[in-house]
Amino acid sequence: MLPQTEAVKDHGYEILYLTDPIDEFAIRVLAKYQEKEFKSVSADDLDLETEEEKKEAAQKVAENKDMLSFMKDALDGKVKAVVLSNKLKTHPVCLSTSGAISMEMEKVLNSLPNTEKEKVQAQRVLEINANHPVFERLTKLFGTDKEKLKTYTSLLYNQALLIEGAPIEDPVAFSNQICGLMTD
């Protein structure tokens, strides 16, 4: 179960768990059922908040704009953006996508046989839970130790990939980063 599902359930929405690779394509064709629109919990545009929650979130984003930009730059093109999440409750991080291609669709399209094609890449967005203790640590590091913040950003991105069921790009570097934290 993806971490984003908690907030969706709390807002009273039902969740369809689609487990076959073709399911997402079928849902996109259907678009809605009995005037109910289908939306992916992995999309970056769920729009679950009240107006008051949106104002609070906008203020928190403004306060942390420089840190979020720094984290995006630290990921060196792996994500389109680093944002504060409105759909995480207990998890510190998740990946969402911006645009028409989701992470699941990326997997399906890249598994199709065609040796001459370029790999399809979803526009990934790293979402950070601003109410999680990890976020507090990130904000402290932004003011005191930007190199360690880069390491934490990389770890959080790889954690989000693992949660999403995607492979991490460099398992050895990931392992070394974890060992480095354990020996600090």
How far, in Å, CA of 155 to CA of 133, rounded?
Answer: 15
Cα gap 148→5, rounded to integer Å: 30
Q: For residue 151, name the pLDDT band (cuts at 50, 70, 90).
A: very high
At 128, list the tokens: 């950070």
Reported as a pLDDT band with limits 50, 70 and 90, residue 43 is: low
Closest CA to 145 of 116, 111, 181: 181
User: What is the 3-class SS of 88-135, one letter each residue?
Assistant: CCCCCEEEEEECCCCHHHHHHHHHCCCCCCCCCCCEEEEEECCCCHHH
pLDDT tens for each residue of 64-122:
999 999 999 999 999 999 999 888 888 999 998 888 787 778 877 877 787 566 788 88
Q: Which residue, chain included where needed, has tokens 């990130």?
A: 138
Dihedral sign, CA of 42, 44, 49, 52? Answer: positive
Tokens, residue 153: 């950003």
